[in-house]
A and B are shown apart, each in its own frame.
Chain A
Amino acid sequence: MARTLELAQLPALGRGFSLLGSGGGGSTTMLELLLADPSLWPITIHDVRDLDPSLPCLGGAFVGSTMLLGERLVGDGPFDELIAAAERWVGEPAAAVCSLEGGGMNGLTPMVVAGERMVLDADLTGRAVPGLDQMSLLVDQVPGVIATCDTGAGGVMLVDARRPVDLETLIRSAIVQAGGVGGTVFAGFTVGDLVEHAVHGSTERALRLGEGYLATRSASLPELAAALHGRVLGQGRITAIEPDARDPHVNAVDVEGMHGEVHRIVTRSETLAFMTDGRLEASAPSIIVTLDAVSRDILEVTDLTMSRNVAVIELPAPGWWSADPRRLRHVMPSVYGLAGLDGLAGLGGLAGLVGPTGLDGAA
């Protein structure tokens, strides 16, 4: 069922996608500014099942260091060249646009990309993830998916890779060449492909989460968690931040709980796990939201600094990941080489399979 979004709902949508970022995915501020033009609104969001399955589709996202976007402002039509190259390769124009990453800033990217195309309420992750090889179409190995990306100074690269990891590695190096941050566009799939191989309703979910968050921001923590359909994991003060010996992107953040509990937040480019007193309480793909305990600001992993008082809430993982163990193993902490944090038994032993630098991490 189609849904019409108004400009007034943009702040709620922004907060909702920030929550789905699980501490990563980048700040939505830049895209909220890009979308502040009233002429773009209202925007209609379509359900994939309502459209013709044969319609060609594409998805867009910013890749690289999200922090750089605050310094290097995005130009006019940042995805135009990439879409043109992709449509030329596919041989027909795309009629619909989906999101690549349903969390963080990229949740709003399709509305920037859309133009005349229909915007779908579908994305390839349902939350923020660090690697392009973690996109649902690649996880399910849907054939024919190609990607284009910036290479710097207006250049475009098109990758038609057979292995997801090749696509990730090539685009990652092209983005580095482009200056650390740039756009990427996935194409070569149809609306029908998204019915089975994508996460649905993330925009709807972000809107509900954002509205709930804004309504209960000043309420008690349990009330706020209830409004988000989440669970309070803990609250306390950050007493130590210990970097991992092997992966410099990984930090174990010590939080001294209100009643002396020993909490640990394990972060990489997103928050990956939460432990209390040595017990695993939550881990990816569950969404772990860290809020400033006082201001209730939604914190990115880089905002977790010494002595800050934080509150941590778990939101349920997008169901698409847990529907199949083969999908799950692409998104659990062990895929980043972190042992002992996988929430479900029997899926361990995959440590060191892939070690991407991160879709939204520091480039």
Chain B
Amino acid sequence: MTERLGLGALLAHPANGGLRLIAGPPDAGWSEVAIESTEADLPDEGADRLAILTAPPPDSPWQQDALVRRTRDRGYAALALPHADGFGTGTRTLADRLGLAILHVDRPMVLAKACWHLLEARDALSLEVVRKVAQSIEYHAEGLRDLLRNLSANVGHGIALVDSEGVLSEAGGHLDPAVHAAVDFAPWVDIARTGDGGTFASVRVDSPSREGLRLGFFGTGLGEAQVSALAVAAEVAMPAVAARILIDEVADVNDASVSSGVLRDFVDLRGAPEADVERRMLERGWRTAGYHLGFRIIGRSRLDALQLLRFVTGRLGDIPADSHATTSGRGVSGWLTFVEPPTPTQVESLISALRDLHVACRRSFNVATGVGSLESGSTGLFTTLNEATDAARVAMGRSATGWFVRVDGLGLEQLLLAWTDNDTFVPAAQSLLAPLQEGGGELLTTLAAYLDHESGIAPTAAALGLHRNTVSSRIQRVQELLGIDMDDPEARLALHLACRVVRH
């Protein structure tokens, strides 16, 4: 079976012997190839063939001119030979003028083999590609990316794992978004092409954990033979990739649960040193020495913490700091670590980066994020993580700040509230203040205003628009109802907090 062989296809072939276009038309194509050692040995009838010479050309410019001329006069459409990159501008201009494509090739016999593959031995081409895929699988891969890199390097073309949204992982080049847009996700094998020669030969990935994935090889200017060989290669590589996705997921779950456990143990110690925990942290590359900035991302509704973690770790690489994260409860806890204390400006830019991360997370997950303050050492790590947890809790109810709160920007009172806003304090406060509910709650309002105004009758009256006597009689009544000594600072604080929690 023969077909027309395009220059683009030959240039895109991974084993083309170092082929480069030196001069002449870039869109040349041939249906036959003539291979000889010198120009004199070439068949007289060029018939629009590609001539491959194994011997280098003569080195005088006029002889190179004459070589180009004679080759073209005999009807050849292209001339590939070693050392063609040494051709001067005159010879190149002549080739352009005569319409003869001049190709430089480092190893002419390799080019000859590539031509044979592409023109006459498509099955051999497919077999060779499949053999290369098999070789790639044989090598140990650290993960999916590593496997894709192996495949791409061995086959010699770019490889990409895509879903309908975009590229999930790729190696050996960059898949043009225009080509991705042309992919049909329904069929088993799909060949996507764009007008400018971009091609993506993909197959559906049968993965139990992820739907709608496709794996394929891509390239520019590929010929029909190459594309069909690459489609076969994708089919052969697909099961390995699907298995790898599964293995990686199991490993991820395992890893996340282990690291989550380590973090839990560390937090339980409240920053106190403990040899075993420290060793386990070090094994994960977590250092307690240095400066830390904690953050916590939690779901405002039910979510898969592992997926969130995968997303977060993917994005953390964009932040220029040593970062760690793991699942914890219904969210993700993490921190940035620095050997030297970062300047306030740096801290601001890091927090802004964390905000970007939060915004990115919110596109896929309903989350709230809290960020702690910069702290140092083992205790500091505990502190900043704890602050982040508190801030995240506050952020849960803060739509005004986009569900993002940093501890430095938090009022102490808010923090206190966040602290007291738990299951034990709220009922206690409610029962404490229950007697004041009589009479439409005016007593509670007056008490809250009174405490807010430092137990001053006059300011309270002014704030509420009441007469001073009214205020003082109401406070008296409160004292009677609650039976609490309002001069005791402890009691006053508890009462003040209870007011806030109940009124909130």
Contact = CB atoms under 8 A, between A and B. Distances in A.
B68 interface: yes
A260 interface: yes
A262 B60 contact: no
Contacts of B93: 256, 262
Contact of B58 (A240, A262, A278, A339): A339
B62 A264 contact: yes
A262 B97 contact: yes
B97 A277 contact: yes
Interface in B85-118: 88-91, 93-94, 97-98
Given A252-B60, A260-B97, A340-B60, A275 B89 contact: no
Q: What is the predominant secondary structure among interface residues of chain B facing chain A?
A: helix
A239 interface: yes
Contacts of B58: 339-340
B70 A278 contact: yes
B68 A278 contact: yes
Contact of B62 (A256, A261, A275): A275
Contact of A338 (B60, B67, B68, B97): B60
Contact of A239 (B66, B90, B91): B90
A277 B60 contact: no
B57 to A, nearest CB: 11
A338 to B, nearest CB: 7
A6 interface: no
A341 B62 contact: yes
Contacts of B88: 240, 242, 252, 254
B472 to A, nearest CB: 106
Of B58, B62, B66, B72, most buried by chain A (CB within 10 Å of CB) is B62
B496 interface: no
A91 B132 CA distance: 90
A245 interface: yes
Interface string A207-223: 00000000000000000
Nearest to A265: B62
A278 B60 contact: no
A252 B64 CA distance: 11
Contacts of B59: 245-246
A340 B63 contact: yes
Contacts of A339: 58, 60, 63
Contacts of A80: none
B65 A264 contact: yes
Contacts, number: 66
Given A239-B89, A262-B90, A280 B66 contact: yes
Nearest to B71: A278
Interface string A268-283: 0000010101111000
Given A242-B61, A254-B88, A262-B90, A275 B97 contact: no
Sort chain A's interface into a size bin: 20 to 34
**What DSSP secondary structure best describes chain A's contact surface?**
strand
A132 interface: no
A279 B60 contact: no
A240 B63 contact: no
B69 interface: yes
A160 interface: no
Contacts of B89: 239-240, 254
A262 B63 CA distance: 13
B62 A262 contact: no
B90 A254 contact: yes
Contacts of B94: 262, 277-278
A339 B67 CA distance: 12
A266 interface: yes
A279 B66 contact: yes
A12 to B, nearest CB: 34
Contacts of A338: 60
Of B88, B90, B93, most A-chain CB atoms within 10 Å: B90
A264 B62 CA distance: 7
B61 A264 contact: yes
20 contacts: A240-B88, A240-B89, A240-B90, A242-B90, A244-B60, A252-B88, A254-B88, A260-B97, A261-B97, A264-B62, A266-B62, A277-B65, A277-B69, A277-B97, A278-B65, A278-B66, A278-B94, A278-B98, A279-B69, A340-B60
Given A275-B65, A277-B97, A278-B98, 11 more contacts: A239-B90, A244-B60, A252-B62, A254-B61, A254-B89, A260-B97, A261-B97, A264-B61, A266-B62, A277-B94, A278-B72
Top-6 shortest CB links A-B: A278-B69, A254-B90, A278-B65, A252-B61, A262-B94, A340-B63
Interface of A: 239-240, 242, 244-246, 252, 254, 256, 260-262, 264, 266, 273, 275, 277-280, 338-341
Interface of B: 58-63, 65-70, 72, 88-91, 93-94, 97-98
